[in-house]
Structure 1
């Protein structure tokens, strides 16, 4: 029952119930929602569409430039010698430490030589005995010779004595050979550096038993005064290389290659330039590549065997298409730019990169000289968007950021 209101002594029902208030509130909320939707749906009322962005554009220009072809390379010293023992025995002394620089002829290791000294002493004794037998046999020959001449004794006795003398000489020669072999083995117990260079890891310690059959060398000695960088060219790259440089033979073309650079693992360029020096005689059928070698001076020992890097072969281009790297973006390892088309709309174009510097790409195809591209703000653009171009001078850009 709803409460009754009284007026002038008469009871009246209320004008609005709780249900009536709820109905009125619902109508008001619906009206507000439809009003908001109508305002957003009608662009002539409420918020207006944003204007096209103003972005700088620059014309693609050409300039003489040096481009580079880069190839992954592995570095080795000019000489890498595995130091292995020639005789078996206990390692008595190690004269050097790992990583030390040694000169050619400097002692490195000493193997205990007592066994070989005893063999040498025995060989010396055998040689002395053989030389004594030679003297005895010679005396006998000298004694019998006049007797045979006088026909006092038969010639057979002299021939027998001469044979004994020859046998004694042969025994002495054999003893000399044994003595020489033993002395060579004694010399092998002191291992010296065959070349100047840096000592590698030494896996054996003093007291270890070493010999010819060891899988590991005592150490590796590297002469790194000059470094060799080995890299490979695919068949298409090899054909391009032959077409790039003049010469009737491949050797002549290699000699015409200018000084090459070495890009180190941290991205820096090695201070010394190198020369392309040799090429493999044939393609590796399994990899479809041919090996080249570049040599770099390394007087300071900065580079070591096992280093990696990239060999850069330069190529001078008289009129290379120059595109600022700031104007590019990458999608799946491909480089793109936004070019300005009709009605100031932008369209993305992929580029074929032939080289680069710190600030620019050198482009072989994908865009033409004089074509305008968006210089900055490309991250917010999409194909077909309209912009308000703000031209900037390519010459002023090159002055501000040189090649």
Structure 2
């Protein structure tokens, strides 16, 4: 039987498709291609969504700010004195202990007084002898005066008697000075506190031989009802410092200086603010710095001489540029921010920092007012990446502008 089929009406011969496989392939491939196109479209949309995250941005504005600069400070008491003996002798008594608080005039040490009391007794004896010699000379004058008047004896003897009287009077003055010196030395055997304050170390113990020429003092005494914190400014810092405050002289500027704070060695702030009340008269030639003094009240004795700390000095800046520290990233000793262009692409921009104001950086250059920066989420950003900017919340902008 022939495989051709004859249709009588048209006389057209139709050859049947003996190979149906290509048609099946087309039927299967078309849905796959469609699925692939749909999948690629989804991936492209997902990629675009990842490439443009929604991030908060902040428009930089000029504002007034106060920056705090730290300067190492050495703390001393209002009065720091060395207690030294004025005489040589054996230390007989020690009336105080190390670290004790003493009042002005309180007895601290007692040096053996016997040698000095004998010196006083000897000086008093010499004084009495000089006074007796003076009386004797006066008697001689009284005896010779009428004899000379009656020309019984020559006036030479009277003149000699008067000269002897003057010598006796001089001896009296000399011995009085010796008595006074002996009394002073005797008083020096009792060592008293010249001011109220705290006793330091006691290197000399009872029974020790002490002398005015000793290298070590008997102790140190510190009056710390208020303390002085000394710190130094470089020449450049000092020029900037003076320019901040009104006044034609340094004295006038000191009066206009704001209060300063003291940070202790454990990084805790001291409870009281201080006042800068002294600027040194000249710069140190070796360091090129000038010393300033800030006075702090210390009624409770919290601070002692020898403490260290840091002075926080506030400097006013007008029309400053502030950027939150959280909006910066540090790389290779440089600090960057991500600025946002008009097409919402970010650029890593280096900035120069000249100080801190709270949690913000004070910027010298790198960005300008009107620039927009990314506030958060910068750890995953890349150069040239596109974002969806979201304006910073009013509270955030207000905090920055109020600094």
* Gap change, CA 1:235 and 1:168, over 3 Å in 2: same
Contact 1:280 1:290 survives alignment (8 Å): yes
* Gap change, CA 1:339 and 1:265, over 3 Å in 2: farther
Contact 1:55 1:376 survives alignment (8 Å): no
Per the alignment, in what secondary structure is the counterpart of residue 293 of structure 1?
Answer: strand
Q: Which has the larger radius of gyration?
A: 2
Shift of 1:389: 4.3
* Gap change, CA 1:90 and 1:332, over 3 Å in 2: farther
Q: Tell me how far apart the structure 2 counterparts of residues 331 and 98 of structure 1 sit (CA, whole Å).
A: 53
Q: Tell me how far apart the structure 2 counterparts of residues 139 and 356 of structure 1 sit (CA, whole Å).
A: 92
Q: Tell me how far apart the structure 2 counterparts of residues 292 and 160 of structure 1 sit (CA, whole Å).
A: 69
Question: Who is 1:181 aligned against?
Answer: 181
Question: Who is 1:344 aligned against?
Answer: 345
Shift of 1:385: 5.7
Per the alignment, in what secondary structure is the counterpart of residue 99 of structure 1?
Answer: coil
The 5 A counterparts of 1:61-80 are 61-80=61-80
Contact 1:55 1:377 survives alignment (8 Å): no
Shift of 1:129: 1.6
Contact 1:102 1:199 survives alignment (8 Å): yes
* Gap change, CA 1:164 and 1:333, over 3 Å in 2: farther
* Gap change, CA 1:332 and 1:299, over 3 Å in 2: farther
Q: Tell me how far apart the structure 1 counterparts of residues 232 and 332 of structure 2 sit (CA, whole Å).
A: 25
* Gap change, CA 1:209 and 1:373, over 3 Å in 2: same
For structure 2, the 5+ residue unaligned runs are: 1-39
* Gap change, CA 1:377 and 1:208, over 3 Å in 2: farther
Question: Who is 2:395 aligned against?
Answer: 396
Per the alignment, in what secondary structure is the counterpart of residue 97 of structure 2?
Answer: coil
Q: Tell me how far apart the structure 2 counterparts of residues 250 and 354 of structure 1 sit (CA, whole Å).
A: 25
Contact 2:65 2:318 survives alignment (8 Å): yes
Shift of 1:400: 8.0
Q: Tell me how far apart the structure 2 counterparts of residues 150 and 332 of structure 1 sit (CA, whole Å).
A: 116
Shift of 1:302: 1.6
Contact 1:58 1:394 survives alignment (8 Å): no
Farther off after superposition, 240-249 or 361-370: 361-370
Per the alignment, in what secondary structure is the counterpart of residue 203 of structure 2?
Answer: coil
Q: Tell me how far apart the structure 2 counterparts of residues 390 and 196 of structure 1 sit (CA, whole Å).
A: 66
Shift of 1:318: 5.1
The 5 A counterparts of 1:60-99 are 60-99=60-99
Q: Tell me how far apart the structure 1 counterparts of residues 109 and 329 of structure 2 sit (CA, whole Å).
A: 59
Per the alignment, in what secondary structure is the counterpart of residue 321 of structure 1?
Answer: strand
The 5 A counterparts of 1:209-248 are 209-248=209-248
Q: Cα RMSD over matched residues?
A: 2.7
The answer on 1:365 being equivalent to 2:357 is: no
Contact 1:339 1:349 survives alignment (8 Å): no
Shift of 1:399: 6.5
Shift of 1:343: 5.0
Q: Tell me how far apart the structure 1 counterparts of residues 399 and 278 of structure 2 sit (CA, whole Å).
A: 41
Q: Tell me how far apart the structure 2 counterparts of residues 105 and 151 of structure 1 sit (CA, whole Å).
A: 64
TM-score by length of 2: 0.80
Q: Tell me how far apart the structure 1 counterparts of residues 97 and 332 of structure 2 sit (CA, whole Å).
A: 49
For structure 1, the 5+ residue unaligned runs are: 1-43
Question: Who is 1:100 aligned against?
Answer: 100
Question: Who is 1:115 aligned against?
Answer: 115
Question: Who is 2:197 aligned against?
Answer: 197
Q: Tell me how far apart the structure 2 counterparts of residues 53 and 109 of structure 1 sit (CA, whole Å).
A: 82
* Gap change, CA 1:335 and 1:264, over 3 Å in 2: farther
Shift of 1:213: 1.1
Contact 1:337 1:351 survives alignment (8 Å): no
Q: Tell me how far apart the structure 1 counterparts of residues 325 and 144 of structure 2 sit (CA, whole Å).
A: 105
